[in-house]
Amino acid sequence: MAFTWFQKNEEVKEGGQEKSTGFFNRLKKGLSKTRKVLSTDINDLFAGNRKIDDELLEELEELLITSDMGVRTTMDLIESISKKSSEISGADQLKKALKENILALLNSEKPCPQKITTGPLVIMVIGVNGVGKTTTIGKLAAKFVASGEKVIIAAADTFRAAAVEQLAIWAQRAGVEIVKHKDMSDPAAVAYDGIQAALARGADVVLVDTAGRLHTKKNLMEELKKIKRAISKKLPEAPHEILLVLDATTGQNALSQAELFNDALDVTGIALTKLDGTAKGGIVVSICSTLEIPLKYIGIGEKIEDLQEFDSVRFVNALL
Amino acid sequence: MGVIMFDNLSDRLDAVFKKLKGHGKLTEKNIEEGLKEVRMALLEADVHYKVVKKFVADIKERALGQEVMESLTPGQQVIKIVDQELTELMGGRLENLNLSGSHPASIMLVGLQGSGKTTTAGKLAVYLRKQGRKPYLVPADIYRPAAIDQLNKLGDQLGVPVFPSNPEIDPVKICQQARTTAHRELCDTLLIDTAGRLHIDEELMTELCRIKDAVKPSDILLVADAMTGQDAVNIAESFNNTLNIGGVILTKMDGDARGGAALSIKSVTDKPIKFIGVGEKLSDLEPFHPDRMSSRILGMGDVLTMIEKAQTIVDEKKAVELEKRLRKNEFTLEDFRDQMVQIRKMGSISELINMIPGMGKIKQLKNLEVDENEFIKIEAIINSMTPQERHQHTLIKGSRRKRIAKGSGTSVQDINNLLKNYTQVVKMMKKINKGGMRELGQGMLPF
């Protein structure tokens, strides 16, 4: 469902920005594939002017659940819709009602991350294995470089084989410096050195990559805390942002991930990756509302520029 | 794990049926109410909406039969039926890798980005080597930065040869060349690590077909993340339709995902789940057990895995020896320490607790931090004793306790506690000796 949004987004931007044609073409190509797979759409639900009855609500339920919205959120949404069923007579009104409800869930934002008084902006990137942390860092680096910032990447995933090599290639693509140690060295030390290097070289942004870990592994979560402490030791107000990367393909377990990472580290933002497939990533709605963590970025492809800043109003406008 | 709303399905069903106690026999409506809970549990476990719908309809027929209606514990009865059906749906028996056909045999690993193909390739190499085969790792992912490096490093770690790929070569060519070089390396099984790709990426899906045509693999395995949500059906269906896969490997099963994707994948592809990935180490690959997966999806814990874990870790020889000594009431502080070490080998206590049905869900236990340091302390204390002291604990009086405390960096109080616990265990042992050792199983003490 998220894809409807990109398409609308496209229409807005396409006219004005010449240089982005390549990007939007790619996006469009991805979208047309996605469209074929999407079987239901809210407009289909209302083909032939249907009334809001049990059958229709069940179809709506299917639509919401198959987007990974989760049983509870789906039930809540449906309940509030069926309460208003006398006022709703068509697709437009149903959409409007749903939009309002989902927007309310998405918009519970935590206060902005800490203000920076001295030194660089430090973003620590965390998440379970294979969600796309390294790739997200590569894309973030490119984004900051494009806006004229000097970026340093700290390769603190010292565990996974060739993680540093992978990150080094992204750093090269984005044209930024990378601080690295040997494989299996202490990740906290790498992070510390990264901050030190950034201070010495006058960098504006430090991106700290960490090894993927399952949120249920106590000792590995402790390691993350240690990395965070090491960063604060060098720069007391850092890290300014703890960015949790979630995979849109993940189902209800994303909530457990967000909860446990948040308990350990106080997550300040979420990046939702792999939205260029057929998964809708609906679980972020529950995560944003229950944990009050804002969704900040979405990943929509493999290219370096395929990371977008998230805008909830646009998202919901297009969600349905 | 439905952290917010769900306790274990068993409890919820009991609650539904408890309300009905004293109302005589269960009606169809009552059963439906119970099935609603089953439906919710499955959806929360990420089983696909349509799969759940069909499953619940099937269950209803069985549940409406006599067995539930007349049962005194209808909740348990419903669970039993659900559990049986789930187990059956996920494949009755274990299915192994298919290694038949042309020589050398080839296994293709396919899947989305980040599902764990490369790590799984390393794990399969370890598994195959244990089976007496000679695996050959083939990095065919030329797209992800450093993916080839990653497999090379794993090969180095394991001492398994890796085909010298480079990102300039077409993946189909890589696989073809690897078949010839495998002979030279005296290898008999190719493990082809393909690039992660979206199932809707036509270009890359075609590439997989080309590799398949070129190497004629004996098995094609879809590597899927156990945490996958509703999209699992789309992913599995696309990969299966394109490649006619031979089976599935479910990764990241060591997390707390209920793993409903297993059921979704199985029901849309009808292909067996062959292995599960259960940890970060390259030996952490296990055969798939449908019955255990069923309990997990239903949120009922995984006792069997725990028992099996205990069995593989306990050293048989030591156990027999210990049993002999126990019979003679010769359980020393050294044995006490060894037992402790064996328990710790099974994993962290909190992990073990999570495998016990219901336990993982109990709130008090969730926050309970078993202090693993306590074990380290005990070990240190016993290590600081002289051999005589370890064999005859009554020797340990005041000044010896002080010395041991100093040597192990603990306090006299800690020593006192340990000795108290130890004497209790010895007492218990004596009692059991009278009753028979066999009940203790493989020499594990009920600490």
Q: What are B351-399's pLDDT values in tens digits? A: 555 555 444 444 444 444 556 677 788 889 999 999 889 888 889 988 9
In Å, how far is A48's CA from the nearest CA of chain B? 24
User: Which is higher by pLDDT, A240 or B28?
Assistant: A240
Burial B270-290, CB ≥16 within 10 A → b, else e: ebbbbbbbbbbebebbbebbb
User: Which is higher by pLDDT, A2 or B429?
Assistant: B429
Residue in B113, B154, B230 closest to A274 by CB? B113
Domains of chain A: 39-106 (1.20.120.140), 121-310 (3.40.50.300)
Block residue for tokens 């509703």: B230
Out of A135-139, B158-162, B322-326, least confident range? B322-326
Helix spans in chain A (H): 2-14, 21-37, 42-45, 54-65, 71-83, 91-106, 133-146, 163-174, 187-201, 218-234, 253-265, 283-291, 312-319
Q: How many CB pairs under 8 A join A and B?
A: 156
- Residues B139, A56: Cα–Cα separation, whole Å: 49
Contact B254, B355 (CB under 8 A): no
pTM of the shown model: 0.76
Single-letter amino acid code for the residue at B393:
H
Give me the count of residues in chain A: 320
| CA distance readout (Å), B412 to A25, A28, B400, B415, B417 | 74, 72, 10, 5, 9
- Residues A144, A148: Cα–Cα separation, whole Å: 7
Beta-carbon-side half-sphere exposure of residue A118 (alpha carbons within 13 Å): 8
List chain B residues with CB under 8 Å of A217: 254
- Residues B381, B385: Cα–Cα separation, whole Å: 7
- Single out the residue of A278, A191, A193 nearest to residue B235, CA to CA: A278
List chain B residues with CB under 8 Å of A169: 145-146
DSSP symbols for A42-64: HHHHTTT-----HHHHHHHHHHH
Contact A76, A82 (CB under 8 A): no
- Residues B358, B138: Cα–Cα separation, whole Å: 43
- Residues B140, B261: Cα–Cα separation, whole Å: 27
- Residues A179, B397: Cα–Cα separation, whole Å: 56
Maximum distance among all alpha carbons in chain A? 67
Question: In the structure encoding, which two tokens stand for residue B242, read together?
Answer: 């394109």
Please report, in tens digits, the pLDDT of each residue of chain A (320 residues total): 333 333 333 333 333 333 334 444 544 444 343 333 333 456 666 666 667 778 888 888 888 899 898 999 999 998 888 887 777 777 777 777 888 888 888 875 555 555 666 789 999 999 999 999 999 999 999 999 999 999 999 999 999 999 999 999 999 999 999 999 988 899 999 999 999 999 999 999 999 999 999 999 989 999 999 999 999 999 999 899 999 999 999 999 999 999 999 999 999 999 999 988 888 888 988 898 889 898 999 998 888 888 988 877 766 665 55
pLDDT value of residue A3: 35
Strand pairing report for A241-247 and A121-126: parallel
- Single out the residue of B120, B293, B87, B264 nearest to residue B192, CA to CA: B120
Segment B267-298, tens digit of pLDDT = 999 999 999 999 989 999 998 988 888 888 88
List chain A residues with CB under 8 Å of B44: 70-71, 252
In Å, how far is A62's CA from the nearest CA of chain B? 7
Contact A209, A174 (CB under 8 A): no
Residue in B46, B149, B202 closest to A162 by CB? B149
Residue in A67, A256, A277 closest to B200 by CB? A277
Block residue for tokens 């999570």: B354
Domains of chain B: 4-89 (1.20.120.140), 105-300 (3.40.50.300), 306-444 (1.10.260.30)
In Å, how far is A70's CA from the nearest CA of chain B? 7
